[in-house]
Amino acid sequence: MILCALFMSLLAVPSLPAWGATATFSGTLKDTPISATVDVTKQKDIPYVSLRDLSRQLGAGFSVSDDRVQVDLGGNTAWLRYGETEVYGSLKQTTLLYPLVRDGSDTLLSEGDVIPLFNTCFRVSLTRKDHTAQTPGTKTTPSNAEDPFAPNVLEPVQIKKPKPGASQPTETDQAPSAPSTPSTDVVSSPAPLPSSGSTTTPAPTSSIHRIVVDPGHGGSETGAVGSDGLQEKALTLAVALQLKKDLEKTLGADVVLTRSDDRELTSTQRSNIGVREAPDLFISLHAGASTSTTAVGFEIFCPPPVVRGMGNPSLSNADKHLAAQIENHLRTTTQAASRGIRTAPIRVLREQEKLSLLIELGCITNPTEEALLASPDYQAKLAQGIADGIAAYAQSAQSGR
């Protein structure tokens, strides 16, 4: 099975032809000069460089585990996944212009993503010395220096309606099945959580009264965009607004949104809102993205205990119990596939002192799932599933189960 998966991955990404160009990047890291010169190759007219060679020349640690890549530089870490654009960093989360590519034993990053990735995730000031033309689509992140919480002057959020005839979820409809061909986009189910009676897995012991809901992206940070035009920032806001109503009705909870309109917030600003509001639960909403149009389903991330300020294993266990409840109820209300429950040291989660989760609501790059995610009815089901899972967890916590 492993050999088959490896063989298919090699077929899926042909070896990139030599292009004969090089790119030199230089800058500073904590006042120390750093530089790297790497070969540039092309895939479908998009320039790529070796992230492995680039990282090593810049003095960064580089490692690969299964379908994930880890880069360590200057005390900060970034985690990337082959075939996807989301980057989870200990300093800040960001989105690549083009997905990370596996080419044999090498890892390829688009040339246009080099400077945004390293400057955002590692606080370096890279520039390209022999730069002649910026890769189309390269974007910069504006700052809200005058008032970091003031909304940007942009058009109101509009959710793109699905095309006529697009399938809508029903009580008997099943979400598109995961591809049978081995793929790095198919995430296996997590190991079963220990029962609540286990000595190493105590049952939840606190109920939930105050909640911060964080709709990912916003403003010029659109996040991932589906083939039919649905933007991640619009999806997360729509679900967050409905989730706030559901939680207030179901739990009588005090719910705070990090944003209630189309504004841009940094990870630091989002984290600070969570710290300031001191909620019982911080929940961040995002959407998944992949180069494989067959990748499908939602995914839930919990912070590992080692990244928390308190380093509390019991709290990490409570995160997983909550995630399991939400997973079960999302399956019930949406009939969607689950890509599993995972742990990742995501900054907006690791700085929270109590429960915290990040939910990827579905793969926005799957055309069928995009049509569902664009539907207000399906968005309501997503919000309902999350709210029901939180309510079930709170009830079990109160009863001591």
How many angstroms separate the CA atoms of 106 and 104, rounded?
A: 5
Assign residue 198 a region: left if phi > 0, alpha if psi is -120 to 50, beta otherwise?
A: beta
pTM of the model: 0.55
Question: CA-to-CA distance for 255 and 273, rounded, in angstroms?
Answer: 12
Per residue in 128-150, pLDDT tens? Answer: 875 444 343 433 333 332 232 22
Least Cα distance to 343 among 361, 356, 354 occurs for 356
369: DSSP letter: H
Q: How many helices (H) does the chain have, and how many strands (E)?
A: 9, 17
Which one, of 136, 273, 296, 144, lies nearest residue 221 by Cα?
144
What are the structural domain ranges in the chain?
10-128, 210-399
Which of 296, 260, 35, 68 lies closest to 186 in space, CA to CA? 296
Which fold would CATH assign to domain 210-399? Aminopeptidase (3.40.630)
For domain 10-128, the CATH class is alpha beta
**Is the confidence at residue 202, as pLDDT, over 70?**
no
Q: How many CB atoms lie within 10 A of CB 118?
A: 27
User: Token match 């200057």: residue?
Assistant: 74
Q: Which pLDDT score is estimated for 193?
A: 33
- Among 100-109, 153-162, 344-353, the range scoring the smallest mean pLDDT is 153-162
Do 304 and 363 touch, CB atoms closer than 8 A? no
| Fold match between domain 10-128 and domain 210-399 | no
- Residue 31 in this model has a pLDDT that exceeds 90: no
Residue 399: pLDDT band (50, 70, 90) is low
For the stretch 244-294, pLDDT in tens is: 999 999 999 999 999 999 999 988 899 889 989 999 999 999 998 887 788
Gap between the Cα atoms of 390 and 193, Å rounded: 17
Q: Across residues 352-362, what is the average pLDDT? A: 92
Instruction: Please identify which residue in the block is written with the tokens 């990404």.
Output: 13
Gap between the Cα atoms of 270 and 198, Å rounded: 35
* Mean of all residue pLDDT scores within the chain: 76
Sheet holding 18-29, edge to edge: 101-103, 106-110, 46-50, 32-43, 18-29, 127-128
Could you tell me which of 302, 287, 293, 291 has the C-alpha nearest to residue 348? 302
Q: Among 348, 344, 218, which Cα is nearest to 273's?
A: 348
| C-alpha–C-alpha distance, residues 176 and 58, integer Å | 43
- Distance (Å, rounded) from C-alpha 89 to C-alpha 122? 9
**Main-chain dihedrals φ then ψ at residue 41, nearest 5 degrees:** -120, 170
- Give the pLDDT confidence of 73-86 residue by residue, as tens digits: 988 888 898 988 88
Which segment of 46-55, 72-81, 167-176, 354-363 scores lowest on mean pLDDT? 167-176
Determine the Cα–Cα distance for residues 332 and 314; give it in Å rounded to an integer: 27
CA distance 288 to 105: 25
Instruction: Evaluate if residue 191 carries a pLDDT over 70.
Output: no
Confidence tier at 96 by pLDDT (50, 70, 90): confident
